[in-house]
Structure 1
Amino acid sequence: MTCRVLRIDEQLYGCEELPAGQPVLCDVLLADAAGTQRVLPYPDEALTAQNIQESDTVALLPDGTLKKLRQYRIILSADTASEVRQMPSQKRR
């Protein structure tokens, strides 16, 4: 399932220390295409390893892991756009 990361908050442990061997968890607020939201406790180390940040698009895999989806943006300058419009292969017949 593809989701947008709306918010990432580190879980609060209060005065208690994290139990030995337990990873630091973050609460990741996700929204799917229908707008349904859910909070997923997720290891901070795993978020950092994939550079998952707020507003990223991720896949929520069946095993509960997240995979960051790469997004590509094409930025055309006015000159480049003009050149593309003039290319013969781009002309409509």
Structure 2
Amino acid sequence: MTDTPVSPAATPALPAQLPDRLSTNPKSPFYDEALLARGVGIKFDGEEKTNVEEYCVSEGWVRLAVGKTVDRKGNPLTIKLKGKVEPYLQK
């Protein structure tokens, strides 16, 4: 067996641009584990938000967790706010 370096083209690449919609819930069709592991930050109406559960850039909304309150299935209770959404990669 020879030691050949792995080319960057052979490794699965993350999208250069962030998706229009992303969710932190694994049951959602908009969940992307690789992208979330890399770190996604959200600026909502010019303010940094750390409690975002889901966002949609084209529709201009975010779902924010409300405190530590959870529903009977263990999911965080959320509130949907409309405004300007700007996602970015943290790392």
Scaled by the length of structure 1, the TM-score of the pair is: 0.22
Structure 1 or 2: more helix by fraction: 1
Comparing both structures, which one devotes a greater share of its residues to strand?
2
Larger Rg: 1
Taking structure 2 as the reference length, what is the TM-score of the superposition? 0.22
